[in-house]
Amino acid sequence: MGRLKKRSKQLLEARKIAKMKNTVRKDHELDLDKVTPAPSTPTNSSVLLSMQTSSKKKTVDIPAMDIGSSSSLFNDQSAKQAYRTIIDISQIEKLLSPLLCPYCNADGLTLHSDDNSRFGLVLKLKLYCDNCGTVVNDVFTSERSLNDKKFSINTSAVVASSLCGLGPLTFNNFCEHLDLPGLSAKNFYNRTKSIYKDAEDVRQALRSKTIRLVRKEHAKNSNSALSDDDILDIAVSFDGTWMTRGHKSMIGVSCVIDVLTGYVIDFEVLSSFCQTCSTTGTRLKAQSPALYKEWFESHKPDCDINYTGSSGMMETHAAEILWRRSIENFKLRYTTMLSDGDSKAFNKVCEIKPYGDVPITKEECVNHVGKRMGTALRNLVTDCSKKGISLGGNGVGKLTQQTIKKLSKYYTRAIRKHNGAKQMRNAILASMYHNFSTDKRPMHHLCPSGADSWCFYKSCEAKNVKPGKHSLHIHTPLNYDLLAEHLKPIYKRLSEPQLLQRCLLGSTQNANESFHSCIWNICSKSRFSSLKKVNFSVLAAVGQFNFGFSFGSEIKSFFNCQVSKSSQRLGLLRLKKRLKNAAYKKQQVVKRRLLLRKEAKARKELQFIEAEGVSYSSGHF
């Protein structure tokens, strides 16, 4: 009996010591869950551990997320005082080895990982006493979510992969080189399905936030009060982008961007392909039409096909959808469309009359209009060569590639630098006639007058100085006898008042092109992606484009993923770097330098091509 009492007393003291050590362990910031399976000897592999500071310690001030000009989209919680890091398990063993076993009071505690209890990136660790064989404690290397009991690190990994455009294969390749366990493809896809399903809630929160800011800025700009029920007329920039190049893409994205604020207001993703229908559906259809019909009814809500038609018509169809729902969803009317004229989107919107008798006007993107001159001249050279007329090639006064580029640049510059349609037209025609001019046949009647005129002939006239030779001052000479009858119709068509009237604002679709870049940085064009993945990528791109890189932390917090000071710090660093680069490239000196480099590179390439001749052509050699 005495021996039994003594043993009971020892066990009681051992439990007290274990409790004290557990408290010390918590104070040293290791917050891991507890459960129990059998130990195995750990290797020198790495594991991702979730570290959380004790609430008793002094808190660290973390700046609140700045999204737009108000609080976060989903909650006003600041980031948890927590962080994650990658630790080699052998290093933890070294840390724990000097500790004494609370049961036998001997040293020699070792750390074991249970490979049978591995869940993705999560391992179960057991603190084991080699002397008495007791399992002192066991924990998982990540917390579990209170909602679905899933390990938070696995959810965070999938959300992070989705925000970075990584699939399960690429993610596991990354884990392979870091000696991390990785995630099975099934586990990865199951979690992405859950994320994509909840993405609609993120979209609604993002929409309401954006519309609130857009209406606020328009009310401020017009100096008028605007209630939530008032319908607001705005100008938007509309453009589409496709997942694959050419007109064979099965997924297309179209969006509208407010011209005043630059916010992405709404978007639509269209898909004419479903992977499940292509595999399972095709197999069942061949087996039994009745079985296929039954299967398709259950699959229909999850089917990726939401559009039937050609790839080129996706942009037009998306425009119809976006314009029809603008009043119902946002109390907005897109009464001015800034577009590129590459599709029938504007014609379709005018045809359906989404706003009744309220007209919709069109503004042209100056960049795209400027490209029309180059396209028209290249087509002219090709068409004439088929008829046996050589307008291009080598020779002074011909339409070489370098000459076409210069004429296109002159055309764009004439539109940008003038405010009225008449002034634009005169400047466009002047760029043609000026280059037709020779000493015997000067044609400077449309060139601007004055001593500071860009035209050497008009400048000399104003200064009462005899003009020099045209061959020395005209840098893009054109052969009048060869080209006049071909160029005049093109210049007349591209200087029509109706076209130039739509260019008066001098607007561009640079915002749309920038947004498209954000989308395809997240969702790669080189790999197949489903409609749901592209939709989530566009959603993430909208948040990033409208509110900065901190939106990634907002999405993580929405999915109950840990957001720490490390996340905020790296997001702010990325934002600062982007702003610094933007400020640098905005300088006129830098713009000029980049332009000169680009032109010099193009000239050098053309010189190589002209000197080498045809070096690569399909079936040419």
Q: What is the pLDDT of residues 350-408, one digit of tens each?
A: 999 999 999 999 998 898 898 999 999 999 999 998 888 888 877 788 998 889 989 99
Say what the pLDDT of residue 425 is.
Answer: 94
Region 445-458: what's the mean pLDDT?
A: 91
Query: What is the C-alpha separation between 208 and 385, in angstroms, rounded?
Result: 56
- Compute the average pLDDT of residues 137-155: 83
Q: Which residue has the higher pLDDT, 292 or 114?
A: 292
Residue 519 has what pLDDT? Answer: 94
pLDDT above 70 coverage of the chain, percent: 86
Residue range 187-272+307-365+508-547, CATH number: 3.30.420.10
Quickly state the pLDDT bin for 128 (edges 50, 70, 90): confident
When pLDDT is cut at 50, 70 and 90, the band that residue 489 belongs to is very high
pLDDT band (50, 70, 90) for residue 549: confident
The whole-angstrom separation of Cα 33 and Cα 128 is 17
pLDDT for the residue 245: 77
Please count the CA atoms within 13 angstroms of the CA of 96 that sit on its side-chain side.
Answer: 26
Give the tokens for residue 270. 């269209």
Q: How far is CA 256 from the centre of its chain?
A: 15
pLDDT value of position 424 = 94
Nearest to 411 by CA among 396, 391, 432: 432
Measured distance CA(18)–CA(436) in Å, rounded:
95
**Ranges for all domains in the chain classified under CATH 3.30.420.10:** 187-272+307-365+508-547
pLDDT band at 36 (very low <50, low <70, confident <90, very high): very low
Least confident of 46-55, 193-202, 238-247, 492-501: 46-55
Buried b (16+ CB within 10 A) or exposed e, 231-242: ebebbbbbbbbb
What's the confidence (pLDDT) of residue 550?
76
What per-residue confidence (pLDDT) applies to 6?
46
Taking all residues of the chain, what is their mean pLDDT, rounded to a whole number? 82
Q: Is the dihedral of CA 379, 381, 382, 387 positive or negative?
A: positive
Q: What is the pLDDT of residue 86?
A: 86
55 vs 243, residue with greater confidence:
243
Q: What is the pLDDT of residue 73?
A: 58
Choose among 454, 447, 421: nearest CA to 433.
447
Residue 144's DSSP bridge partners are 151
pLDDT(491) > 70? yes
223-227, 438-442, 499-503, 541-545: which range is least confident on average? 223-227
Any residues with CB less than 8 A from the CB of 106 and at least 6 apart, and which? 100, 129, 131, 132
Determine which of 158-167, 219-228, 572-581 has the lowest per-residue pLDDT on average. 219-228
Residue 506 has pLDDT above 70, yes or no: yes
Nearest one of 18, 69, 45, 312 to 182, comparing CA atoms: 45
For residue 19, is pLDDT > 70? no
Q: Is it the case that residue 465 has pLDDT exceeding 60? A: yes
Cα(472)–Cα(562) distance, integer angstroms: 69
Range with lowest mean pLDDT among 41-45, 269-273, 301-305, 313-317: 41-45
Residue 62 confidence (pLDDT): 27
* Residue matched to tokens 């869940």: 119
Q: What is the mean pLDDT of residues 255-282?
A: 94
Residue 69: which pLDDT band, with cuts at 50, 70 and 90? very low
Is the pLDDT reported for residue 44 higher than 80? no
pLDDT of residue 11 exceeding 50: no
> Strands 361-364 and 332-339: what pairing?
parallel
